[in-house]
Amino acid sequence: MSTAATAPGRRVSLKTQNRVRRTTTGIIARAILIAVSLLFLVPLYWMVITAMKTDEELADFPPSLLPQSWNWSIFGEAVNAFPFWLQFGNSLLVTVLGTVLAVLSSYVVAYGFACIDWPGRDKVFYLVLATIFIPFPVAIIPLFDLFAWLGWVNTLLPLIVPNALGSAFYIFLLRQFLLQASVEAMDAARVDGASEWRICWQVVFPTARGALIAVAIFAAVASWNDFLGPLIYLQDPSVQTLAIGLQSFSTETDTSFNQLMAASTLTVLPMVVLFIFFQRYFVKGLNVGGFR
Amino acid sequence: MTTTVTGLADPAELPGPAGGVRPGGRRRYTARQRRNLRLGLLFISPWILGFLVLVAYPLVYSLGISLFNHTGFRTPEWVGLGNYSRLVQDPLVAISSANTLFYAALAVPIGLVVAVVLALAMNRKVPEVGLYRTALYLPSLVPVFALSFIFIVFVNPSFGLLNQFLALFGVPETNLLGDPTSAKLIIVTMAQLGAGNAALIFLAGLNNIPDSLYEAATVDGAGTLRQFFSITLPLLSPSILFNLVTGVSGALQVFTQAYIVTGGGPNNGTLFYMFHLYNSAFSYAQLGYASALAVVLFGVGMVLALIIYGLSRRFVNYDVTG
């Protein structure tokens, strides 16, 4: 600081030094990113090309890095080898309903924690935070008994309904965002005599679009990818989701690897498309509050 | 709900009988506070119900049922602490705990380092950063069960890619899933593909560090390494804490990969604690015993979280102001 003021020459050298350092770290950063990105894409690449290989080519050693001919018909074969579309539909139903319920309920709760100033609010919020870290498996036996008692086992309800009770992590993310919501707009609406419920949906909700989409993506991916829940609650193939359908398909003796990989590719695809489509919001949503 | 005024001067808020002391000596609330309390509780009521049904009830129920021999078929039979003393002697508890510890001790620290490095690299803001972000996040979108199938194909000794790659370094063809240690290492490696998630959280934390701090440090002659340890790491500590706690919590629950890829084998080498719990409950229908396992898991999880929070008081820095 003082050096910079008294010795302009040093300041220039510092700047140059800084620029050189930035270029070097830039090159290193790029090298790391390219290397790790490729490494991370290898499993997905292997999934797709293994799917497209013929049975004969699969037996080749060493394995070819590209299929000799692209066997597109494998997707049709895989889809017909097990109740793919039925289970795809089940997954879709669970994911769409679960996501909508999780986002809306978490939003309402987050509004209660961020936009209404009630005594004891922050203490209760600590409890919400604490529950983020409770390992879910602790609850599997009691919840199984509860859902069995309700007659919900072998239905999709255990995978959908609990979402209506909010999720601690999504509440946390949305609260961080809502803390930055415009107090003026809310107070103006209150002066105009709007109810808190109306303010929640008509004043604040439209401004929270980015954070809501981010949470929706989290919730959709979690629902679509859930394995333990469907494994426990769904025994009947007609109600199973793709997670379990694929698992039982993979353990059938005549299942070929290319069919399994083709079915896996079709399972992964919707989430990849969703992410690429909404990536912008997703990254923004994560930036909210910087995870304090 | 009727109209409400919150956060504004409100006639009802003026000192007066409205804010009188309650008989029980409870805190006195103004009328506005009372109304806000009602409203606030109403808004968070889904969570309150969720807490009761999905957290409190399971905990109490697990605690209770862990004292019974409960199979789900016959009337539960009281065994007191029997399930717990059995748990201590169960060799599979020792093995699965050791496996889980092995997994956590490797997967969590490696995962944090990988994620921090990726976040720092992405933070250099090269023009095509969006491309890397997508590539790095893609495996996080792939369901663990699908990733498990890919890995089965991937490590297959006869047509997998991994053995071919290792052959380049003279490693003979081996079934990596045939050895308890290498099978665990495969599962640790699989976990690293999820680093994109933590990396994005770190990236968000990095974005919150004001550039002026680095500028000042540069002017003061602090080198890159010094800047990393004196500025970046301390100011990133809230994100590190978050990723550490979720990482540990996730490691305690590792299950799906082992269930699909190795089935717990070879020789119980990938029988993780959660897997043993699942088997006890749903394969052997020993719900009482499995509940005892769950209660212990909960206890361990909470103790670990408390230790991490305790330590975090020393190293986590919340002073950053953007």
Give the Å distances, CA to CA, from B278 to A63, B68, B120, B243: 37, 18, 39, 26
From the CA of A209, how many Å to the nearest CA of chain B? 19
A169-220 residue pLDDT tens: 899 989 988 988 888 889 899 999 889 999 999 999 988 888 898 899 889 9
- pLDDT, mean of residues A253-271: 87
From the CA of A71, how many Å to the nearest CA of chain B? 18
Same domain, yes or no: A30 and A118: no
- Determine what percent of chain A is predicted with pLDDT higher than 70: 89
Stronger pLDDT, B116 or B156, i.e. the higher one: B116
Look up the pTM and report it.
0.84
Does the pLDDT of residue A104 top 70, yes or no? Answer: yes
CA atoms within 13 A on the CB side of B280: 29
Contact A33 B122 (CB under 8 A): yes
Stronger pLDDT, A153 or B163, i.e. the higher one: A153
B43 interface with A at CB cutoff 8 Å: yes
B68 strand-pairing partners: B78
Same domain, yes or no: A276 and A188: yes
**Of the partner residues B39, B135, B281, the one whose CB lies closest to the CB of residue A118:** B39
Query: Is it true that the peptide bond before B76 is cis, omega within 30 degrees of 0?
Result: no
pLDDT at residue A267 in the model: 92
From the CA of B300, how many Å to the nearest CA of chain A? 10
Name the pLDDT band for A99 (thresholds 50, 70, 90): very high
**Of the partner residues B43, B117, B216, the one whose CB lies closest to the CB of residue A109:** B43
Backbone angles phi, psi at B257, to 5 degrees: -55, -50
**DSSP-derived 3-state class of residue B199:** helix
What does R_g of chain B's alpha carbons equal in angstroms? Answer: 26
CA atoms within 13 A on the CB side of A269: 11
pLDDT at residue B23 in the model: 52
**Of the partner residues A142, A261, A267, the one whose CB lies closest to the CB of residue B57:** A142
- Residues of chain B positioned with their CB less than 8 A from the CB of A194: 3
pLDDT at residue A5 in the model: 45
The tokens of B139 are what?
């495996």
Same domain, yes or no: A185 and A269: yes
Q: How many CB pairs under 8 A join A and B?
A: 312
- For residue A186, give the chain B residue with the closest CA: B6
From the CA of A68, how many Å to the nearest CA of chain B? 15
Classify residue A120: in a domain, yes or no.
Answer: yes
B173-182 residue pLDDT tens: 777 788 888 8
From the CA of B223, how many Å to the nearest CA of chain A? 9
Stronger pLDDT, B261 or A100, i.e. the higher one: A100
Look up residue A240 and give its amino acid: Q
C-alpha dihedral (A219, A242, B104, B115), degrees to nearest 10:
-50
pLDDT at residue A165 in the model: 95
Same domain, yes or no: A173 and A225: yes
Classify residue A66: in a domain, yes or no.
Answer: no
Classify residue A219: in a domain, yes or no.
Answer: yes
Does the pLDDT of residue A12 top 60, yes or no? Answer: no
Classify residue A94: in a domain, yes or no.
Answer: yes
Name the pLDDT band for B166 (thresholds 50, 70, 90): confident
Does the pLDDT of residue A95 top 80, yes or no? Answer: yes
The chain-wide mean pLDDT, for chain A, equals: 85
For residue A161, give the CATH number of its domain: 1.10.3720.10
- Residues of chain A positioned with their CB less than 8 A from the CB of B309: none
pLDDT at residue B171 in the model: 75
**Of the partner residues B6, B37, B131, the one whose CB lies closest to the CB of residue A196:** B6
- Residues of chain B positioned with their CB less than 8 A from the CB of A287: 204, 207
Does the pLDDT of residue B284 top 80, yes or no? Answer: yes
Same domain, yes or no: A274 and A131: yes
**DSSP structure class, residue B209:** S
- Residues of chain B positioned with their CB less than 8 A from the CB of A67: none
Classify residue A154: in a domain, yes or no.
Answer: yes
B159 interface with A at CB cutoff 8 Å: yes
From the CA of A199, how many Å to the nearest CA of chain B? 10
Cα dihedral across residues A221, B244, A134, A131: positive or negative: negative
Name the pLDDT band for B3 (thresholds 50, 70, 90): very low
Does the pLDDT of residue B250 top 50, yes or no? Answer: yes
Q: Cα–chain-centroid distance for residue A117?
A: 31
Whether residue B43 contacts residue A116, with contact meaning beta carbons closer than 8 Å, is answered with yes
pLDDT at residue B17 in the model: 43
What does R_g of chain A's alpha carbons equal in angstroms? Answer: 26
B29-80 residue pLDDT tens: 888 888 899 999 999 999 999 999 999 999 999 999 999 888 877 788 888 8
- Residues of chain B positioned with their CB less than 8 A from the CB of A41: 135, 138
- For residue B128, give the chain A residue with the closest CA: A30
Same domain, yes or no: A157 and A250: yes
B127 interface with A at CB cutoff 8 Å: no
Count of residues for chain A? 292
pLDDT at residue B43 in the model: 95
- For residue B56, give the chain A residue with the closest CA: A139
The chain-wide mean pLDDT, for chain B, equals: 84
From the CA of A290, how many Å to the nearest CA of chain B? 5
**DSSP structure class, residue B156:** -
pLDDT at residue B24 in the model: 52
Range in A68-72, A114-118, A180-184, B14-18 with the lowest mean pLDDT: B14-18
Same domain, yes or no: A115 and A191: yes
C-alpha dihedral (B20, B23, B29, B34), degrees to nearest 10:
-110
Domains with residue ranges and CATH for chain B: 85-315 (1.10.3720.10)
Three-class DSSP labels, chain A: CHHHHHCHHHHHHHHHHHHHHHHHHHHHHHHHHHHHHHHHHHHHHHHHHHHHCCHHHHCCCCCCCCCCCCCCHHHHHHHHHCCHHHHHHHHHHHHHHHHHHHHHHHHHHHHHHHCCCCCCHHHHHHHHHHHHCCCHHHHHHHHHHHHHHCCCCCCCHHHHHHHHHCCHHHHHHHHHHHCCCCHHHHHHHHHCCCCHHHHHHHHHHHHHHHHHHHHHHHHHHHHHHCCHHHHHHCCCCCCCCHHHHHHHHHHCCCCCHHHHHHHHHHHHHHHHHHHHHHHHHHHHHHHHHHCC
- Residues of chain B positioned with their CB less than 8 A from the CB of A190: 4-8
Contact A42 B161 (CB under 8 A): yes
Place of tokens 């082992």: B258
Q: Are strands B68-69 and B77-78 parallel, antiparallel or unpaired?
A: antiparallel
Classify residue A76: in a domain, yes or no.
Answer: no
Would you tell me which residues 81-120 of chain B have a C-beta closer than 8 angstroms to some C-beta of chain A? Answer: 114, 117-118, 120
Same domain, yes or no: A228 and A88: yes
From the CA of B2, how many Å to the nearest CA of chain A? 6
Classify residue A246: in a domain, yes or no.
Answer: yes
Same domain, yes or no: A256 and A194: yes
Name the pLDDT band for B1 (thresholds 50, 70, 90): very low
Domain count, chain A: 2
Same domain, yes or no: A169 and A225: yes
Same domain, yes or no: A45 and A100: no
Would you tell me which residues 234-253 of chain B have a C-beta closer than 8 angstroms to some C-beta of chain A? Answer: 238-239, 242, 245-246, 249, 252-253
Stronger pLDDT, A3 or A20, i.e. the higher one: A20
Same domain, yes or no: A281 and A136: yes
B208 interface with A at CB cutoff 8 Å: yes
pLDDT at residue B319 in the model: 58
Range of the domain at A39: 2-58
- Residues of chain A positioned with their CB less than 8 A from the CB of B73: none
Name the pLDDT band for A27 (thresholds 50, 70, 90): confident
Stronger pLDDT, A209 or A292, i.e. the higher one: A209
Give the Å distances, CA to CA, from B211 to A279, A292, B94, B123, B321: 25, 19, 49, 12, 11
Name the pLDDT band for A73 (thresholds 50, 70, 90): confident
Does the pLDDT of residue A163 top 80, yes or no? Answer: yes
Please give the Cα distance from A73 to A146 (Å, whole number): 44
Classify residue A67: in a domain, yes or no.
Answer: no
- For residue B40, give the chain A residue with the closest CA: A112
From the CA of A230, how many Å to the nearest CA of chain B? 12
Domain end among A42, A58, A74:
A58
Q: Cα–chain-centroid distance for residue A16?
A: 43
**Of the partner residues A21, A37, A268, the one whose CB lies closest to the CB of residue B224:** A21
